[in-house]
Amino acid sequence: MTAQIIDGNALAKQIRAEAAGRTAALKARGVQPHLAIVLVGEDPASQVYVKHKVADSEQTGLKATLERHPVDMTEDALLARIRALNADASVHGILVQLPLPRHMDSHKVIETISPAKDVDGFHVASAGALMVGQPGFWPCTPYGCMKMLESIGYDLRGKHAVVIGRSNIVGKPMAMMLLAKDATVTVCHSRTPDLAAFTRQADVVVAAVGKRNVLTAGMVKPGAVVIDVGMNRNDEGKLCGDVDFDGVKEVAGWITPVPGGVGPMTRAMLLANTIDAAERTGRG
């Protein structure tokens, strides 16, 4: 059996088209959805990420303002700038590109963003609100993963999902979203003793560690859905994920590729969250 590919590029294109329609409807009401992206420093990967986010926004008619600040910007200055964006009614979403320079406390910076504009979904208030069924924003990467499962019509009720990775950005929110769909969830990490004993039982495996080949063919239940969140480089310098794609695709029922899987979906869900924020406020 060869797994079917969950095409993140194609699904993201569909979501961007839907976002363009929602943006046009907002503009007809006099509301211009506006995303403010704040970049501090010259991290090469961050430069690429924000370039893609601005391009995606422009394709959907959403306004994206990219602010570039020097690496020696003080934390107090950054917090003051975020507070100013919080107070700007024309800005619906605020994204501070991570990682930040070492002299800045990322947690403090993220918590300064207004929860109503936290379109990256990292604020603790967003997680708390979503846990009790109130409006909030899911972090974009796990949100994109859930959309991929939805796209193949996968019913999570009663299924066993294993999430490899315990980060607050992907692992824990992913587990929360799966639990909300009535799945049984086990959260592991790369050093979990006998990790394969857990993954072989799983109907869904989400690999989000940032380590090549953390999931191999012998660790996967036949027919399982495998979502690869990892972003690494192989020995030839090419992008690859956490999953041994060539091996696992011969066992799994569905699998996401790297590149072209979760990455485009993460950016697409950022647009969706920003438009959600604009629709909630109705101002702009």
Kind and range of the H or E run holding 64: strand 63-69
Inform me whether the pLDDT recorded for 166 exceeds 90: no
- Per the listing, tokens 């009720």 go with 157
* Per-residue pLDDT tens over the stretch 77-128: 999 999 999 999 999 999 999 999 999 999 999 999 999 999 999 888 777 7
CA distances from 199 to 55, 134, 193, 194, 249 (A): 37, 32, 12, 9, 15
CATH topology of domain 31-114: Rossmann fold (3.40.50)
Determine which one of 97, 159, 221, 242 is catalytic: 97
CATH topology of domain 140-263: Rossmann fold (3.40.50)
Determine which one of 53, 147, 221, 249 is catalytic: 53
How confident is the model at residue 15, as a pLDDT?
97
Q: Where are the domains of the chain?
A: 31-114, 140-263
Inform me whether the pLDDT recorded for 262 exceeds 70: yes
* Per-residue pLDDT tens over the stretch 198-240: 999 999 999 999 999 999 999 999 999 999 999 999 888 899 9
* Per-residue pLDDT tens over the stretch 6-65: 999 999 999 999 999 999 999 999 999 999 999 999 998 899 899 999 999 999 999 999
Exposed, middle or buried by CB within 10 Å (0-12, 13-18, 19+), for 157?
A: exposed
Q: Say whether 7 is catalytic.
A: no
Inform me whether the pLDDT recorded for 283 exceeds 70: no
Give the amino acid at 69. Answer: H
Exposed, middle or buried by CB within 10 Å (0-12, 13-18, 19+), for 183?
A: buried
Tell me the C-alpha distance between 256 and 263, whole Å. 10
Q: Say whether 97 is catalytic.
A: yes
Inform me whether the pLDDT recorded for 188 exceeds 90: yes
Q: Which of 38, 104, 113 is nearest to 69 (CA)?
A: 38
Q: Which of 78, 113, 108 is nearest to 94 (CA)?
A: 113
Q: Say whether 120 is catalytic.
A: yes
How confident is the model at residue 194, as a pLDDT?
95
CA 71 to chain centre: 25
**Identical fold, 31-114 and 140-263:** yes
CB-based contacts of 246, cutoff 8 Å, min separation 6: none
Residue 134 pLDDT grade (very low, low, confident, very high; cuts 50, 70, 90):
low
Determine which one of 56, 120, 244, 276 is catalytic: 120
Helix pair angle (140-151, 171-180), 10° resolution:
40
Question: What are the structure tokens assigned to 125, written together?
Answer: 């208030």
